[in-house]
Amino acid sequence: MSQTLRGQFEYSLNRKIAEGGMGAVYEAVQFGVEGFKKTVAVKSIIEDLSTNQEFVEMFIGEAKLVADLVHENIIQVYQLERVGNTLYIVMEYIDGVDLDEFTRRHQALGREIPIDLCAFIASRICRGLDYAHRKTDAQGNLLGVVHRDISPRNIMITRLGVVKLGDFGIAKARNILASREGDVLMGKAQYMSPEQSEYRETDPRSDIFSLGIVFFQLLTGVSIFDNPDTSVTLQNVGRAKVPSIRKYNPNVPEELEEILKRALQRRPEKRFQSAGEMGYALEYYMYHDRFGPTNVTMEKYLRELFPEKALPQQPVAARAGGTAEIGPKATMVVEREPTSTTRRRNYQ
């Protein structure tokens, strides 16, 4: 497909990359002056909902909230556009895979996801969540952000190995996004917390429970509460016993088993009390006695797992300093200084 949107900027929509209940996401090119071009993602609200004031307010609220959430592990929002009667969110384009695609590729190859990489992915989402949960407004007032939709489809891994959380479409935040809790149930049933599934008030600890479900699934391939009947799934979330992870993957270390048990406590006061606390526990497991995984580790692993998506290998510089020809009679010499600054000299 090829469609041009002309709002404050001009966007060429190249292809649809995702579609959900509220809208679709397209890979697009943003054009600016002097030949400026940038690849972005454009999220639209579907036409049938464009006249539904509640959904329009949620769509606008998501854009306003995430615009101020600037963090390596959160997909960045750049702009909210209106073209005619249709709203668009312009956001960071993620050249990579979501966790659903990541796990399905392992299943297709008959491979298990390395345990340390599971812990790494969960730890990065913890860091993104902790930032969002602690976010304040310009006056220092806590926004009270709760994502409420942590699931494999909303977690992305870029080709450079950076883990990112996206889709704050049903998040709540004080004075930005309404909660509707006690009235409307929103989210994916098999990834809800008990309080969310029972229409009760949620706080950041709800996201910790949901992340625990995703983490369990990464380690085992099992969605612990899922059932073809949504009502049964909701009952499972609220009451079913959380199985021992050793039943499905006996190779999971005790340290990670304990982290999972704490994240999946039914009573919020027994869980980790912040995503930062859970993130620290995961990082301690990965790094306290060895050199654990990094973005580079993940990048190399994705290159092996998805060779069709691999970036071309970049040439490695031979050394920090060197010379560069910049004209027929001009040579620039660049030297690395101890203070990490550079010095130019020897212009002929």
For residue 177, the model assigns a pLDDT of 57
For residue 60, the model assigns a pLDDT of 83
Q: Report d(CA 292, CA 216) in Å as an integer.
A: 20
Which span out of 37-46, 70-79, 172-181, 330-339 was modeled with the highest average pLDDT? Answer: 70-79
CA angle 109/112/116 to nearest 5° reads 135
Confidence bin at 138 (pLDDT 50/70/90): confident
Pairing verdict, β 163-165 and 155-158: antiparallel
Which stretch of 8-12, 73-77, 94-98, 261-265 has the lowest confidence by average pLDDT? Answer: 8-12
CA distances from 121 to 100, 115, 155, 330 (A): 13, 10, 9, 48
- Give residue-wise pLDDT tens across range 51-68: 677 778 778 887 888 888
Share of the chain above pLDDT 90, in %: 48
Average pLDDT over residues 98-117: 95
167 catalytically annotated: no
CA angle 183/74/48 to nearest 5° reads 45
**Using the 8-state DSSP alphabet, how is residue 119 labeled?**
H
Which span out of 164-168, 279-283, 320-324 was modeled with the highest average pLDDT? Answer: 279-283
* 314 vs 301, residue with greater confidence: 301
Which stretch of 59-63, 169-173, 174-178 has the lowest confidence by average pLDDT? Answer: 174-178
Domains of the chain: 3-92 (3.30.200.20), 96-308 (1.10.510.10), 315-348 (no CATH)
Which stretch of 271-285, 290-304, 329-343 has the lowest confidence by average pLDDT? Answer: 329-343
For residue 278, the model assigns a pLDDT of 98
Average pLDDT over residues 303-323: 63
Average pLDDT over residues 29-51: 81
Which span out of 128-142, 161-175, 285-299 was modeled with the highest average pLDDT? Answer: 285-299
For residue 210, the model assigns a pLDDT of 96
User: 203 pLDDT exceeds 70?
Assistant: yes
- Give residue-wise pLDDT tens across range 208-251: 999 999 999 999 999 999 989 999 999 999 888 898 999 999 99
Confidence bin at 308 (pLDDT 50/70/90): confident
* 43 vs 321, residue with greater confidence: 43
Q: Report d(CA 42, CA 30) in Å as an integer.
A: 10
Average pLDDT over residues 311-337: 46
- 98, 130, 149, 207: which one is catalytic? 149
User: 181 pLDDT exceeds 70?
Assistant: no
Average pLDDT score, the chain:
83
Q: Report d(CA 79, CA 42) in Å as an integer.
A: 9
| Residue in this structure with the two tokens 């996801």, named with its chain if needed | 113
Question: What is the SS3 assignment for 348?
Answer: coil
Q: Report d(CA 181, CA 337) in Å as an integer.
A: 57
263 CB-near residues (< 8 Å, 6+ apart): 208, 209, 211, 212, 215, 271, 272, 278
Which stretch of 47-61, 63-77, 240-254, 329-343 has the lowest confidence by average pLDDT? Answer: 329-343
H-type alpha helices, the chain: 53-67, 99-109, 115-133, 194-197, 204-220, 230-239, 254-263, 275-287, 295-305
- Phi and psi angles of residue 182, each rounded to the nearest 5 degrees, phi first: 90, -10
For residue 338, the model assigns a pLDDT of 47
User: 321 pLDDT exceeds 50?
Assistant: no
Confidence bin at 188 (pLDDT 50/70/90): confident
